[in-house]
Amino acid sequence: MFYTTFAELCNRRGIRPGRAAGEIGISRAAVTRWKQEGFTPRGDVLERIAAYFGVTVDYLLRGGDSVQAPDGSPDAADTSREEEEMEEFLEMLKNRQECRMLFSLARNATRSDVERAVKIIEALREVEQD
């Protein structure tokens, strides 16, 4: 079932399906239909979802558990590194107030908002180095 794979990919990213849909440009109502009625999106929508998660359309349609993950998706070594990185982030959030502030502000931000904020921080760092 398509929704199961979609939900698992969302889970791996640490986001809710409705939020992923918003970032992809799909309505939450569509996600509800996938979940409750078993619908599968077609064409361009599938391609946008696949691009967002970095998987193939075939992976979305056949299910993450039934086919091998495509190149570019996390393998066991990548997953281990991601878990270590996540532990570092959690430790930072626990011990650094400024990191908690940033996280709090970013909690409801879109992907685009976060990317713009990162560019601003990078620009500030460049100014400091000059």
3-state SS of the chain: helix, strand, coil percent to 5? Answer: 75, 0, 25
Q: Tell me the C-alpha distance between 79 and 84, whole Å.
A: 9
Task: Answer whether 50's CB lies under 8 Å from 18's CB.
Answer: no
The parts of the chain modelled with pLDDT lower than 50 are: 65-72, 74-77
pLDDT of residue 64: 55
Task: Answer whether 18's CB lies under 8 Å from 31's CB.
Answer: yes
* pTM, entire model: 0.50
Domains, the chain, in order of start with CATH, read 2-62 (1.10.260.40), 76-129 (no CATH)
Task: Answer whether 61's CB lies under 8 Å from 29's CB.
Answer: no
Q: Tell me the C-alpha distance between 59 and 76, whole Å.
A: 18
